[in-house]
Amino acid sequence: MTQHLFIAPADIQSPRWQQAFPSAVIAPDSAQIAEADCVWLLLRDENDFAQLQVLSGSDKKIIAMTLIENAQQARQALEAGASGYVHYLAVPQVLEQVAQVVAAGGMWLGADLMRQLVLATARILPAPVAKPVNGTKVDLSQLTSRELAVAELVAAGKTNKEVARELYITERTVKAHLGSAFDKLKVRDRLHLVLVMAANS
Amino acid sequence: MTQHLFIAPADIQSPRWQQAFPSAVIAPDSAQIAEADCVWLLLRDENDFAQLQVLSGSDKKIIAMTLIENAQQARQALEAGASGYVHYLAVPQVLEQVAQVVAAGGMWLGADLMRQLVLATARILPAPVAKPVNGTKVDLSQLTSRELAVAELVAAGKTNKEVARELYITERTVKAHLGSAFDKLKVRDRLHLVLVMAANS
DNA sequence: CTGTTTATTGTCCTTTAGTCCAATGGCGCA
DNA sequence: TGCGCCATTGGACTAAAGGACAATAAACAG
């Protein structure tokens, strides 16, 4: 039986982990790493990537979890040794599937990210007609670094107050950044912000 | 129950197909396509690709099978609409896993091909491409029909007032359904509801 | 040096969201 | 015919979100 260990800060956890794997251990750090043979690591900042690098040295299977699916982050995670890349709020069925595939020596990526990889690869391999991907695209690059930071946390489900605490600024400032992000991305509220960010990552 | 249809010439077939899916239909052409919801298509020449293109128009899941695994062919198959790419002599366990992943809205590629894709992509631009937003079934089944209707509209970015107008009920009732949906899905607000509903893609 | 952008915070105010404690009527089921 | 579940709504209330108007300070470009 596979022993799963979920490493994530206390404020970003999902009940679905335990639902998918009743015997799973959920902890904020890797203290109980020894008993685990499948580690789910929530990626948020560079430190988490560093930890991923460290873990990849072992023979344990590592699955990166993310707040927002993002192609570059996925690539980095897989390069750093992860065998899977999945949204942290994925439903138990998906989590189980990821575990299965990874346990079988496979790699797991959501279909959308996979498709991106396929299409991206089309450019470097001798390809026929690589259909350029487009759509209702929003340019997140027009946001300043602070606006983006706020937007990402908000898109991860944080409230303004939580974002403020996390970034060591006042709630008012959070609103300011958020408001200008709304303007730039032409969305009316945080809900739509999540939708466009989810559709363009 | 998923109905599998394997399309392959009589001289290139594998007994493992039937082993993996006892109720599967194996035929040399797509005559019996109507009853199937998962089509396994053996790729040999350009005609097969053409057929793949045609099939991709339907909502059926399509899995490309190959005689020899090849990165470029894999790419073409996935671009043409296939959700998986697997060797035609794969063992039943693998076939079942492929079917599972694909049924869940995922994409399947052997680990080796996957690694090639990942490494290939690593060298090119970090520019993200748009991804289509799709949704699969969640454990949303625990919601009543009304709760689900409200949840879906909310997850599409509608305000309570808009949902109320759309469903011809009062905003108060929208709140009631939404509140109980929150309880059942164990989310704290509409933002997390969106994340949960968008997570299983 | 000056104008622009970015980051930060403030107050005041309106609109939305979400919860608590109800109540009513319909529908299936034992 | 009660019991439970579902859909509906009310009122009252608290919290969260977002806009309007404005200010200060640092960084940066021309």
Q: What is the pLDDT of residues A118-146, one digit of tens each?
A: 555 544 332 222 222 223 345 677 788 88
What secondary structure does DSSP assign to A39-91, as a single string? EEEEE-SHHHHHHHHHHTTSSSEEEEEESS--HHHHHHHHHTT-SEEEETT--
Phi-psi region of A81 (alpha: psi -120 to 50; beta: other; left: phi over 0): left
Instruction: Kindly state the greatest CA–CA separation across chain B.
Output: 65
Spatial separation of the C-alpha atoms in residues B195 and A90, rounded to whole Å: 9
Is A99 in contact with A4 (CB distance < 8 Å)?
yes
Spatial separation of the C-alpha atoms in residues B109 and B99, rounded to whole Å: 12
Question: What CATH class is the domain A140-199?
Answer: mainly alpha
Give the model's pLDDT for residue A119. Answer: 55
Per-residue flag: A142 CB under 7 A of strand C: no
Question: What CATH class is the domain B4-122?
Answer: alpha beta
In tens, the pLDDT along A63-86 reads 998 877 777 778 788 878 888 888
Instruction: Name the CATH architecture for the domain at A4-119.
Output: 3-Layer(aba) Sandwich (3.40)
**CATH 3.40.50.2300 region(s) of chain A?**
4-119
Q: Which residue numbers in chain B have pLDDT < 70?
A: 1, 104-106, 110-139, 199-201
Spatial CA neighbour of B85 closest among B105, B69, B106, B61 = B69
A154 vs B140: which has the higher pLDDT: A154
CB of A186 within 8 Å of any CB in chain B? no
In tens, the pLDDT along B147-196 reads 988 988 888 888 999 899 888 899 999 999 999 999 888 888 999 888 87
Residues B51, B56, B61, B66, CA torsion sign: positive
Please state whether the predicted TM-score (pTM) of the whole model is above 0.75: no
Closest chain A C-alpha to B126 CA, distance in angstroms: 6
Taking residue A102's Cβ as centre, other Cβ atoms within 10 Å add up to: 21
Residue A179: which nucleotide is closest by CA–C1'? D18
Strand D-proximal protein residues, Cβ less than 7 Å: A 159-161, 175-176, 178-179, 182, 188-191; B 144-147, 167, 169-170, 172-173, 176-177
| pLDDT exceeds cutoff 60 at A156 | yes
Spatial separation of the C-alpha atoms in residues B52 and B43, rounded to whole Å: 9
**CATH 1.10.10.10 region(s) of chain A?**
140-199
Paired strand residues for B32? none
Give the model's pLDDT for residue A98. Answer: 84
Give the model's pLDDT for residue A124. Answer: 38
Question: What CATH class is the domain B139-199?
Answer: mainly alpha
Can you tell me which residue has the tokens 């490309």?
B64
In tens, the pLDDT along A159-169 reads 999 899 888 89
Spatial separation of the C-alpha atoms in residues A102 and B165, rounded to whole Å: 46
Residue A154: which nucleotide is closest by CA–C1'? D17
**CATH 1.10.10.10 region(s) of chain B?**
139-199
At A61, list the tokens.
Answer: 């299977």
**CATH 3.40.50.2300 region(s) of chain B?**
4-122
CA dihedral B42, B98, B123, A119 (to 10 degrees): 60
Amino acid identity at A157: G
Give the model's pLDDT for residue A199. Answer: 62
- Average pLDDT in the A30-36 region? 89
Interatomic CA–C1' length for residue A145 and nucleotide C1, angstroms: 28
